[in-house]
Each structure stands twice: as C-alpha cells, then as structure tokens.
Amino acid sequence: MTPLHPLKGPNKLKLGVFAANADGGLAITDVPERWRATWDDNLATAQIADRAGLDFFLPIARWAGFGGKNKVREWSFETFTWAAGLAAATQRIGLFMTVHVPLVHPLYAAKALATVDHISHGRAGLNIVCGWNPKEFGMFNIPLVEKGYDQAAEWLAVIEKAYASSEPFDFAGDYYKLTNAVSRPASLQSPRPVTMNAAFGGPGRDFAAANCDYLFTTFTDISQAGQHVADIRSRSAHIGRDVGAYTVCHVVCRDTQAEAEAYYERYAATEADHAAVDAHMAGKKEFSSSHDSSAYDLYRKRFGGGAGSYPLVGTPEQVAEEMAAIAAEGYEGIALSFANYLYELPYFCDRVLPLLRSRGLRT
C-alpha cells in the first residue's frame, strides 16, 4: 500500500523549502553568501529538511534569468531530474516538480512524474505553472498560450487518463491529440501525485479549484491573507471539491529582532542585486499578476528579499507567532526561502519548529 504523502500527514501547518534549485533561491541579492544552488548544497539542504521532519521540497521552474550583476536565476536545475536525485537520497520529505505546461508534453510529464513517485515510494508532488515570461518561452519559440489554464486542464486530464488506462487510448482535445497512448508505470499515488497550481488570478484559481489539491499563492498583509483562502475555498466548494491554499514566505530568523532586521536590510536592500530586482519587478508587473498591485510600490525590499513574497523577520518567537497567524488565516502550508538555505535552515529547525509544536501546529 502507498504510504501517506507528507502533505496528507498529521501536521496542521505543513512546512517546506522553496526555490533551492535556482540561483539566489527567491532572493535577488549580491551578498557574498548568496545562494549559488550547487547540487551538493541542494542535497545537504534537502537532507537537513528531511531529518527535521519538514513536509516538502519545492522547486521553481525557470529557464531565463533576470540579469543583473549575478545573472540571477539563470542557473537552475530542471525539476524532474532534480526531484529524482533527491528522492533517492531522502526518506520522508515530499518532493515536488514544478512544470511549465506549454513546455512539456503531458505524456513525458506522466512518465517522469511516475518515475519520481516510484523512486520516492509515493512522495512525488506536482506544481503546475502556466508561465508568464514571454522572453523565457521565446527561447523555445513557443508563444505564451492565450488560455493557458484550458491547456493545463487538458494536460492534467491526459496524465490522469494515462495512469487510469490499462489499454492504449486515444485523446482528442484542443491542445493534445493522442493515438494509442500508453504510459506505464502509473504513479503510486492515485489518481495522480498531490498537485498544486501556482497562480494568483481568476483563471488560475478556477483551474486549481476544478483540478488540483491546493492553490499555491501569495499575499501582501496577514490581515487580508485569508481572503485568498476564502476565495479558493468558495470556488472549489461551488463545484463540490475541497481545495486548500499554500503560500510562500522568506525568512530571516535571529536571536534578536534588531539582528534579524539588520541582516534583512543588508541582503534585501542595501546589497540587493538592484539591476536584477528592477528587471524582475518590471517583468512581473508587465506580464504576470503574481502579486497584489500594491506589493510593487510598497515593498521593493520584498523583491530583493524573496521575489515579492511575505517576509518573516525576527526572533524565533516572532517568526512562530506570524506563522501561527498565517495558519489562522486558513493556509495549510508555507513554502519557505532563506538568503542561504544551508546556513539558515538548521537554526530555523532547531528554534522555530519546537515553538510551532507547542502551539499544536506541528506534531
């Protein structure tokens, strides 16, 4: 029998590590200790997270970088092969693959996803992105798709049909036309590995509500964060499904508040890779609706610190308190990034996880 996926496990608030597969992680900084995303550092970080009982390791899908002094994000590991390598070197943690639907044929994705699910004995996860960056897709000479989420719905339907079919099948869709298709083995998880969709706008949320297990989204202020959870819950309840929400935060945790804020100011502002921050913000503003519009004007520092995500900056007690507030807004999980994962994750696990356990959010 397939073991329970970590995202289905007992922890009330699931925690994971986000974007370690890419240069800089989520940060856009020029500090000497910036994250270079070497394989050895990825492996060591994944094993620390695995031993500490974190629930998932989640990559970003990135092909073109944001330029700047460090050619930020130009270096990144492809997520199927990255997850396969980590699956063989970890025991309990969930291993996600983030996939650009228009760039990967669903039959290829079906087999690669199933392969990682078998290597990991049922710990694979899928994070669907439809893409927003025309420069990136231009590399493949593939245009951004008008109705990206319609294609994504067909893409996922092909994967599910491939796993459910013991006989060859035909598929006649608007985006995919398949004849005598087979894909064996199927994933161990049925009908497919745990699936989330990283989106912010209406069409992405409707897609998640109809097809996924979770929406992966951002928020600007904790006080309003619950509105995104209520939105996806009502969209999914409307069609008889129960879809939860995960979010993303960047973390600076230190013994004192002053120490944490000083380091945040240094890596996310004073020594940010400013040209890359400009390019990233301009690209996101122009082509993607990943954040509330106010985030761009008010929170440039959040882009240097964590690609616009919400900052958790402070003592272990302060960070645990804000994480509890995010859980109270209805989020089932938080994907975490750090300026340097290997330097910062051990302290976070040692000092914050016990506080979350004492709040009943972690077992």
Ligand X SMILES: Cc1cc2nc3c(=O)[nH]c(=O)nc-3n(C[C@H](O)[C@H](O)[C@H](O)COP(=O)(O)O)c2cc1C
Q: Please, what is the end-to-end C-alpha distance for the chain in angstroms?
A: 23
Number of residues that this document lists for the chain: 363
> What tokens appear for 272 in the block?
């940010």
290 in contact with ligand X (CB under 6 A): yes
Question: Which H/E stretch holds residue 345?
Answer: helix 341-351
The contact pattern for ligand X, residues 184-203, with x = CB under 6 A and - = no contact, is: --------------xxxx--
**Residue with Cβ nearer ligand X (162 or 323):** 323
Nearest to 25, CA basis, from 72, 64, 63, 70? 72
Helix ranges, 91-240 (H): 106-119, 134-138, 148-164, 202-211, 222-237
**Residue with Cβ nearer ligand X (270 or 289):** 289
State the DSSP code for 195. Answer: E
CB 45 to ligand X: min, Å: 17
Nearest to 338, CA basis, from 308, 306, 316? 306
**Residue with Cβ nearer ligand X (211 or 315):** 211
CB 8 to ligand X: min, Å: 20
Nearest to 25, CA basis, from 93, 95, 77, 82? 77
Among 204, 283, 306, 333, binds ligand X (CB under 6 A): 204
Among 56, 82, 214, 216, binds ligand X (CB under 6 A): 216
> What tokens appear for 104 in the block?
């990967």
CB 129 to ligand X: min, Å: 3
The contact pattern for ligand X, residues 139-178, with x = CB under 6 A and - = no contact, is: ----------------------------------------
CB 323 to ligand X: min, Å: 16
**Residue with Cβ nearer ligand X (48 or 145):** 145
CB 67 to ligand X: min, Å: 16
129 in contact with ligand X (CB under 6 A): yes
d(CA 120, CA 33): 31
Residues 6 or more apart whose Cβ sits within 8 Å of residue 336: 15, 16, 17, 18, 248, 249, 250, 251, 312, 348
CB 199 to ligand X: min, Å: 3
60 in contact with ligand X (CB under 6 A): yes
**Residue with Cβ nearer ligand X (191 or 201):** 201
- Rg over alpha carbons for the chain, rounded to the nearest Å, is 19
Contact footprint for ligand X (CB under 6 A):
60-62, 98, 129-132, 198-201, 204, 216-218, 248, 288-290
